[in-house]
Structure 1
Amino acid sequence: MQLPPGFQLSFSPSKLLCRPGAIETLAEEARTLGMRRVMLVSGTRTAQGRAMAAVRAALGDAVAHEWTGIPQHSGVADVTAMAAKARALGVDGFVAVGGGSASDSAKGAAILLAEGGTLADHANVFHPPDHYVQKVLAAPKLPIIAVPTTLSAAEVTPGLGVRDEHGHKLVFWDPGVVPRLIVLDALATVDVPAALFATTGMNALAHCIEGMYSRVRNPISEGLALQGIRYLRQALPRVVADPANLAAREQALVGAYLSGLVISNARVGIHHGICHGLGSLGGLSHGTANAVMLPHAMRFNREVAAEPLALAAQAMGVEVAGKTPLEAADAAIAAVQALQRQIGVPRGLGEAGLDRALVPALARGAMSDRGLYFNPRLASEPEVRELLESAW
């Protein structure tokens, strides 16, 4: 595949710990980061689970407050209130436990504490068809530690999304909020349902595939994406078949981590541009939205992204020798659909519970999402609406 005409690459100064029981070292790691009064951030269900119990036990008196009401799609009001509480308590860092909403909320609060103003002041803006404005958020941020229990990879990236009061997802990009420490502890995820690993794993898979054909792709992110695809397509069926399999859970966590490294540089495309609205306005979980939309977005980009999709097919374990690039791209789409069936994720928006009357508003809202800017094929609102209808 021909490389883009020049590229740039950056990695944030994060430390990764990956081993069962790694949470036990959190107190020492937090002290190393200068964190003495931390706010724990999680959703209600995660707050009652194994990972949070292990984090509490490890950090002990360093926990100044627990903010455990993060909803599935964290909103501006939630993050603003959380930042105000953190300021009042004088916390010096956040520990986000759980899925992407916990990490995104901690990131959003760190931005507010450092930059002031409102969250909307710092959000990126995309004006279709091709004008993108990324805010520069230069103020130093409080450190964040992330303990993911799903495969969203939100903990890896400089990006985040927060739902506004109109159901639109505000998106941000700030290398300063990437967690300083990321802990992949498979032992702490054994009470997380395999079905949640399956849907969020499709999100991670989408990161890898979209990163391969992004307008700002590069050869390093491509290599990471291919390995991420291999790990995820192997691990997800194993987790679903045997939820107690720690090796499979760890492989899935590493695959998701790789996917986060991919989009930290190559970004995402129309798939995520649509999925943001499916969550913030449509009410679907981000994992479920990704599980449904991925093959449809791949098909939308098929003709302009045949070569990277052919590489994705090979990483999915498909033999492409003798196939044309378009035939290999079709094989990649078929392989993703086969994985959907194998791990039992929803395959249609109707099946997932979306109100079909929202489709026009979802198409309209997607047009302002930055994912459309990085997609290899520009899209009009009628085309986005047709894509949504195809996924029904």
Structure 2
Amino acid sequence: MDGFQYLSARSKLLCRPGAIAALAEEAAALGTRRLMLVSGSRSARGDAAQAVRAALGGLLAAEWTEIPQHSGVDAVTALAAQAHEQRIDGFVAVGGGSASDSAKAAAILLAEGGTLQEHANVFYPPDRYLQKVLPAPKLPIIAVPTTLSAAEVTPGLGIRDAQGHKLVFWDANVVPRLIVLDAAACADVPASLLASTGMNALAHCVEGMYSRVRNPISEGLALQGIRLLHAALPRVVANAADTEAREQALVGAYVSGLVISNARVGIHHGVCHGLGSLGGLAHGVANSILLPHAMRFNRLAASGPLALAAQALGADTPGLTPVQAADAAITEVEALQRRIGVPLRLRDAGLDRALLPRLAHGAMSDRGLYFNPRLACEAEVLELLEAAW
């Protein structure tokens, strides 16, 4: 076994129906007295946000409910300025990945100063990656996820710049100090949204299996995450009122975040970042479509890990070669796509085919390509996109 390192964040998880009711006590334990709720406009009207307001009472000093899908530099800069003006001492992110990423980015900006762009990581193709060191202590974040993005679990985040490029960051100090999984408070979230964001979580697990920095701990977590999500997502879609299935899906997504907190992501997410920030696709939708294509791209370089993933997906693999088992994993993912009704092609999601060359070019500077088991040139990324279109 090769040597490896593993980072464990200082984070507490509460998982039970009604867990949001404990927020005031938990916030006090963190030493926060002036919290800001961070969410998108739709999430701000949802059951989870209403429960957060009721639980926190006077500890909630301000709200910022203008987070857009694929949150951008301007939005985060305005959020940080408002937090500074209101003397906020912590954030409560409610909703999906954009809310969590915006709270993390605002915490970085408040602590490190300068501009957000100065703190972004940079990948220089084909194999040089520069990760910025962000040592300043950050305001604590409480996360109440209502989707399965798992953004609330990881040290990573992505913010869109003015040119449509996704800036990526990595800072262990912004991992939320408290994560609350309350399936009862997410009952109003559409099953279709959980299905697409669940494919994002599944992609975390699959990419963590074959990442260049994978390790035995993240592999074990990835296999369990695959099992949980593969079982829960069809149940959520079949019965939107199944709280137990929603909780299992939330836990599976949480586990997927633990996976990529150490194993990172690969070409799949490297391309999906641009599909969202430039192409305008919801991140879950992009993930739903691209995952089997990314797996097929890596099938020879990662046949062993994908063979293990096939078993976790329920494929019958005895007697198969590793490559055949990898193909079985791809087949199982495609079957899951159809079972839960997510989009299958980029054209079905409304992506302009004329953007594909720009998307391929932009992906070449994404860190996901650095951690992918197979190095890729721009022409190969374009070929992958064409196959998915």
TM-score, length of structure 1 as denominator length: 0.99
Quote the residue 2:249 is aligned against. Answer: 252
Q: CA deviation at 1:162?
A: 0.2
Q: Which of the numbers 142, 146, 156 marks the counterpart of 1:145? A: 142
CA displacement at 1:64 relative to structure 2: 1.1
Pair 1:53 & 2:55 matched? no
Give the SS at the match of 1:199.
helix
- 2:371 is the alignment partner of 1:382: no
Equivalent position of 2:152 in the other structure: 155
| 1:330 is aligned to 2:315 | no
Which whole-Å deviations, capped at 9, do the CAs of 1:20-77 have from their partners, x for residues lacking one? Answer: 0000000010010011001100001001110000000000111111100101110000
Partner in structure 1 of residue 187 of structure 2: 190
Query: In the alignment, does 2:238 pair up with 1:241?
Result: yes
1:124 to 2:121 alignment? yes
How far did residue 192 of structure 1 move? 0.2
Which residue is 2:34 aligned to?
37
Distance in 2 separating the partners of 1:258 and 1:343: 20
**Correspondence for 1:212 among 209, 213, 216:** 209
Question: Structure 2 counterpart of 1:239, which letter?
Answer: V
| 1:100 maps onto 2:79 in alignment | no
Over residues 69-125 of structure 1, what are the superposed CA-to-partner deviations in whole Å (9 max), with x where a residue is unaligned? Answer: 101110000000000000011000000000000000000000000000001000000
Q: Which amino acid aligns with 2:239?
A: D
Q: Pick from 354, 360, 380 the counterpart of residue 351 of structure 2.
A: 354
User: Does 1:321 pair with 2:318?
Assistant: yes
Cα RMSD after superposing both structures: 0.4
The separation in 2 between residues aligned to 1:18 and 1:366, in whole angstroms, is 36
CA distance in 2, matches of 1:227, 1:236: 14
- Cα distance in 1, alignment partners of residues 40 and 28 from structure 2: 25
How big is the shift at 1:6?
1.1
Residue in structure 1 matched with residue 80 of structure 2 by the alignment: 83
Aligned ranges 1:275-314 → 2 under 5 Å: 275-314=272-311
1:128-164 CA-to-partner distances (Å, cap 9, x unmatched) read 0000000000000000000000000000000000000
Quote how far apart the aligned CAs of 1:274 are.
0.1
Unaligned runs of 5+ in 1: none
Alignment partners' CA distance in 2, 1:182 and 1:147: 6
Supply the distance in 2 between the matched residues of 1:118 and 1:212 (Cα, whole angstroms).
Answer: 35
- Following superposition, the deviation at residue 278 of structure 1 comes to 0.1
Q: How much has 1:363 moved relative to structure 2?
A: 0.2
SS in structure 2 opposite 1:250? helix
SS in structure 2 opposite 1:226? Answer: helix
Give structure 1 regions of 4+ aligned residues with deviation exceeding 3 angstroms: none
Could you say which residue in structure 2 is the equivalent of 1:73? 70
SS of corresponding position for 1:192: coil
Residue of structure 2 in register with 1:168 after alignment: 165
2:332 corresponds to which letter in structure 1? A
For 1:263, the equivalent position in structure 2 comes to 260
2:345 & 2:95 partners in 1: Cα distance?
Answer: 26
- Cα-to-partner distance string for 1:203-231 (whole Å, 9 max, x where unaligned): 00000000000000000000000000000
Distance 1:267 1:10 in 2: 12
SS in 1 for 2:299: coil
Identity value in percent: 76
Following superposition, the deviation at residue 200 of structure 1 comes to 0.1
SS of 2:148's equivalent in the other structure is coil
The alpha-carbon deviation at position 319 of structure 1 amounts to 1.3
1:327-359 deviations in whole A, cap 9, x for unaligned?
A: 000000000000000000001000011011100
The 3-state SS of whatever aligns with 1:138 is: coil
| Other structure's SS at 1:216 match | coil
CA distance in 2, matches of 1:66, 1:148: 17
- Name stretches of at least 5 consecutive residues in structure 2 with no aligned partner: none
Q: Deviations over 1:173-212 (max 9, x none)?
A: 0000000000000001100000000000000000000000
Paired AA for residue 252 in structure 1: A
Give distance in 1, aligned partners of 2:57 and 2:354: 49
Which residue of the partner structure matches residue 179 of structure 1?
A: 176
